[in-house]
Amino acid sequence: MSDIYVHGLEWTVKELFTYPNEFIYWSVQIVMYPYMTGLVAGAFVLSSLYHVFGQEDLKDMARFALVFSLALLPVATMPLLMHLQQPFRALNPMFTPHFTSAIAAFGIVFSTYGMIVLSEIWFVYRTYFVEQYLALQGKTGAANTLRRLVYAIFTLGAFDTSEAAVAKDHKAVKILAGVGIPVACFLHGYAGFIFGSVKANALWMSPLMPVIFIMSAVVSGIALCMVTYIVIMEFKKFQATLARGRGDESVQIIGGVETDVIRKASRYLLGFMVAAISLELLDLIFRGYTAMKSWDILRSVMYGKDFINIFVLQYGIGNLLPFFMLLIGRTTIRKTAIACLLVLFGVFMMRWNVVIGGQAFSLSFAGYMHYKLPIIPHNIETFKEGLFGALTVAVTPFVIFYVLNKFVPAMNYGTNGAKLSNN
Amino acid sequence: MSCSRRDFLRRSIKGGIAASLPLSAFKFLSPAQAKSLVRESGLRWVFLVDTTKCVGCGLCVKACKLENEVPYDVPVTRTWVERYVVTKDGKFHADSPMGGRDGFTEQKIDEQEIPPEEIAKAFFVPKLCNQCENPACVQVCPVGATFQTPEGVVLVDRTWCIGCAYCIMACPYGARFFHPVYRVAEKCTFCYHRISKGMKTACVQACPFGARQIGNFKDENDPVTKTILTQRVAVLKDEYGTKPQVYYIGLDSNVR
Amino acid sequence: MKNHVLRPLWASLAIVALVLLVRSVVVPKDFGIHGNRPDGKNFTFTFHRLGAIDDWKKFKVKYRGKQYCEECHEEKVAENMSSKHRIIQCENCHGPAIDHPDNPETLAIDRSRDLCLRCHADLPYPGSHRGDLPAIDPEEHNPGEACADCHNPHNPNLEDME
């Protein structure tokens, strides 16, 4: 027979008694999947805090978070496509959804959510699109014509920028942001449900799983937005300083990161972190106290084989350390940025410990499986489900954001003259 | 296709009427009820494993792999045989190298020599898909690519499976895997192509000791049904509520 | 300009319509709920393409059983059926018949020691039927020699040994 490939054989190391068909079937891409959807959901919730609850000091951050969640959106599907053994059948769940499966709803919830985000962005930026379109009128050159065409399409033919029309836009944004929050939570909560409902898996099966996933999703989303916001603003400040140094007086002074924005955002971050960590600890304590049949093997994995991954990397470096960094002392940009990076790392480790940790022990409860992340790929599978596949997924949102920013400026558009009347 | 569907219907109608006769003789049925009885199959395949008869020759695994075109030299397999050796200190040692494809010819388990005088009991346990009445694997398939036939067998539609592995994760028995060639979910079908022609499964036929048997649970004269109903039998991992339909004689608390 | 607020909605609905259109073309016509379980969980367990059942029914049978061998090899089967090895299928050693003698013309017989050792390697297992079988220690018992050189696999009676 041609081309025999046993999925999982290459990266699974078995120990003691395991069933012959057991391997790490859900590898690093399934770690990336809830991580990326979590970032999408979190970024959107952050933007909604301003749009719905009127948290004025999050205004700058909100607009940025919204565009960033759009950049993350297509990336949430990437790990799934890379994981599927039949990626060309990826649309089957949309065609014949079997709704008793937690995965079946993904396509539908995800598309709904995507439409909400796109619509919201359209309402926020519609005036800007019209202005750009009008500004480009009469300008010659292929690039300008193309840009004008793009903006014309972006407006969907709605060129009315009267006060009444803009007021309607505002109202629509508010409604969409409000509807978006439950949808974003559902999108991610059900990613937790995918794991929580697997009754065969002793580590995953827990009704708390969806809630834990939502909380850590918001945590990671806020942290990513903060880091990216800080990096971009500082970079722009740096650029402006350079330009001024060269005597280019036309460049306006850019203030860099607004400390108030960061302080406010980190307060939300802390709140959600408390919720996330409490739920995770509750889950752990409950398992230990009830000590069901599976507890012996779970304990040997959590307190033994995965101790460093769980208690040092996830809880220690990923949760407690940044928690106190954000809580204690003066808020400085650098400290906040480092704390947010640690939080992002912590949430990633949480996903890793759930997905890979859940497969670290055999269904026989008498053996172990160890995941050896493929580093250097030697075939398509070891690329897709290895380090470089995961990195590809991790880098893509920033590439998309870069391109998106050319047409839909996520921040700072006040400085280049094209002002947004909306917001 | 339409022809075979008609055949299928005709057969199920016959079986259905036969099965429902005693019932329908006593009460009137609404059209919907009558229809449901007709659609119901007169078959429910069940499996019986007598672990006391198994000697661990692995001929069943060999036959299964060749019959069902699962590549021979890979560890994944539709059926497998486990060896359990319980020592006098109460500890158990278990293995299933290559699923027991080549039988068990050495005393070593996991590179570990166990002296014969320390062995309290030792036995072999053949495993296969339990064709659960409530299959968790089917419930979680996002596209309807795996399903339960009217005779209770769980099959995979190779043309529709997306290869997400959710079913593999959902099975508490480790019965599922990815087919190394077709790259879709793969599992024991109770040799559906054989049993629907009146033959025994490849593993049942290959077993020299009668440790494996297949039967129709809806036929009360079937020897397998009689054994299940009259003797003390057990199933694996009933705590998951999947209602497994592979029954075991001589199961031990050490069996996983 | 009338109400522009609904434009994203129209765009979304257009996408939904497109998906539904593609769906009606791509999904096989016999896809649906095809069961009648007593507990009514038909969508949960019997939602599928009906043709998939026939696909599996058409799968090729390879192991044909002793009766099939007997059609041509009557004497061999008769000899075997009078011996202790009557419980063993011909195909366990000779390989699956498939459409023999058309395809394959000859079967690849497994004559290895390992095949015999599946049952006859000594494993001191109390409580298992394995301990009741005649057994040897493969390291001690004529290592390296083919079992069939002395024992007739069709009729392994020790008294008839050549």
**Full-model pTM:** 0.89
What range defines the domain where residue C117 resides?
66-160
Q: Mind telling me how many Å the CA of B19 is from chain A's nearest CA?
A: 31
CB contact (8 A) between residue B139 and residue C44? yes
CATH code at position A396: 1.20.1630.10
* Three-state secondary structure readout of chain A: CCCCCCCCCCCEEEEECCCCCCCCCCCHHHHHHHHHHHHHHHHHHHHHHHHCCCCHHHHHHHHHHHHHHHHHHHHHHHHHHHHCCCHHHCCHHHHCCCCCCCCHHHHHHHHHHHHHHHHHHHHHHHHHHHHHHHHHCCCCCHHHHHHHHHHHHHCCCCCCCCHHHHHHHHHHHHHHHHHHHHHHHHHHHHHHHHHHCCCCCCCCCCCCHHHHHHHHHHHHHHHHHHHHHHHHHHHHHHHHHHHHHCCCCCCCCCCCCCHHHHHHHHHHHHHHHHHHHHHHHHHHHHHHHHCCCCHHHHHHHHHHHCHHHHHHHHHHHHHHHHHHHHHCCCCCHHHHHHHHHHHHHHHHHHHHHHHCHHHCECCCCCEEEEECCCCCCCCHHHHHCCHHHHHHHHHHHHHHHHHHHHHCCCCCCCCCCCCCCCC
Residues A132-158, mean pLDDT to the nearest whole number: 89
Q: Are residues C81 and C146 in the same domain?
A: yes
Q: Are residues C76 and C153 in the same domain?
A: yes
Q: Collapsing DSSP states into helix, strand and coil, what is residue C111?
A: coil
Alpha carbon dihedral B200, B203, B208, B209, in 10-degree steps, equals: -90
State how far the Cα of B196 lies from the Cα of B45, in Å rounded to an integer: 10
The answer, yes or no, to whether residue B13 has pLDDT greater than 90, is no
Q: Are residues C84 and C150 in the same domain?
A: yes
Assess if residue A413 is contained within a domain. no
What's residue A234's pLDDT?
83
Residue B85 near residue B94, CB atoms below 8 Å = yes
Q: Decide which of A389 and A142 is more confident.
A: A389
**Which residue's entry shows tokens 């400040």?**
A237
* Of A41-50, A359-368, B171-180, C95-104, the least confident: A41-50
Residues B165-188, mean pLDDT to the nearest whole number: 97
Sort A331 into a burial class: Cβ within 10 Å, 0-12 / 13-18 / 19+: middle
Assess if residue C6 is contained within a domain. no
Assess if residue A210 is contained within a domain. yes
Q: Among A88, A94, A96, pick the best mutation site for testing chain C contact (most C Cβ within 10 A).
A: A96
Domains held by chain A: number: 1
CB contact (8 A) between residue C1 and residue A165? yes
Residues A242-261, mean pLDDT to the nearest whole number: 67
State how far the Cα of B85 lies from the Cα of B91, in Å rounded to an integer: 8
Assess if residue A240 is contained within a domain. yes
Beta bridge partners of A209: none
CB contact (8 A) between residue C4 and residue A165? yes
Assess if residue A19 is contained within a domain. no
Q: Which of A91, A99, A160 faces C4 most closely, judged by CB atoms?
A: A160
Q: Are residues C119 and C137 in the same domain?
A: yes
Residues B206-225, mean pLDDT to the nearest whole number: 96
Residues B19-34, mean pLDDT to the nearest whole number: 44
CB contact (8 A) between residue C57 and residue B147? no
**Residue A50 binned pLDDT confidence (cut-offs 50, 70, 90):** confident
State how far the Cα of A385 lies from the Cα of A261, in Å rounded to an integer: 38
- pLDDT tens column, C40-84: 999 999 999 999 999 999 999 999 999 999 999 999 999 999 999
Q: Are residues C48 and C127 in the same domain?
A: no
The reply to whether C56 touches chain B by the CB within 8 Å rule is yes
What's residue B192's pLDDT?
97
What's residue A137's pLDDT?
87
Per-residue CA distances from A203 to A33, A365, A367, B224 (Å): 18, 12, 15, 37
State how far the Cα of B184 lies from the Cα of A101, in Å rounded to an integer: 17
Assess if residue C23 is contained within a domain. no
- pLDDT tens column, A259-304: 888 888 899 899 999 999 999 999 999 999 999 999 999 999 999 9
Q: Are residues C46 and C95 in the same domain?
A: no
Q: Which of A99, A119, A168 faces C8 most closely, judged by CB atoms?
A: A119
Q: Are residues C79 and C134 in the same domain?
A: yes
Give the tokens for residue B190. Answer: 């109770």
Q: Are residues C42 and C105 in the same domain?
A: no
State how far the Cα of A35 lies from the Cα of A41, in Å rounded to an integer: 10
Q: Collapsing DSSP states into helix, strand and coil, what is residue C30?
A: coil
Q: Are residues C128 and C51 in the same domain?
A: no
- pLDDT tens column, C98-127: 999 999 999 999 999 999 999 999 999 988
- pLDDT tens column, A202-223: 999 999 999 999 899 889 988 9
Q: Decide which of A226 and B65 is more confident.
A: B65
Give the chain C residue whose CA is nearest to the CA of A160. Answer: C1
Assess if residue C9 is contained within a domain. no
Q: Decide which of A148 and C2 is more confident.
A: A148
Assess if residue A15 is contained within a domain. no
Give the tokens for residue A307. Answer: 């101790």
What's residue A232's pLDDT?
78
Q: Are residues C153 and C95 in the same domain?
A: yes
Q: Are residues C55 and C108 in the same domain?
A: no
- pLDDT tens column, A363-378: 999 999 999 999 999 9
User: Percentage of residues in chain B with pLDDT exceeding 90?
Assistant: 82
DSSP state of C103: B
What range defines the domain where residue A122 resides?
26-407
Assess if residue C12 is contained within a domain. no
Q: Mind telling me how many Å the CA of C145 is from chain B's nearest CA?
A: 17
What's residue A184's pLDDT?
86
CB contact (8 A) between residue A157 and residue C43? no
Phi and psi torsions of B247, nearest 5°: -100, 145
Q: Decide which of A256 and A80 is more confident.
A: A80
Residue A265 near residue A218, CB atoms below 8 Å = no
What's residue B24's pLDDT?
39
What's residue C1's pLDDT?
44
CB contact (8 A) between residue A96 and residue C15? no
Assess if residue A264 is contained within a domain. yes
Q: Are residues C53 and C132 in the same domain?
A: no
Assess if residue C81 is contained within a domain. yes
User: Percentage of residues in chain C with pLDDT exceeding 70?
Assistant: 97
Residue A104: CB atoms within 10 Å: 22
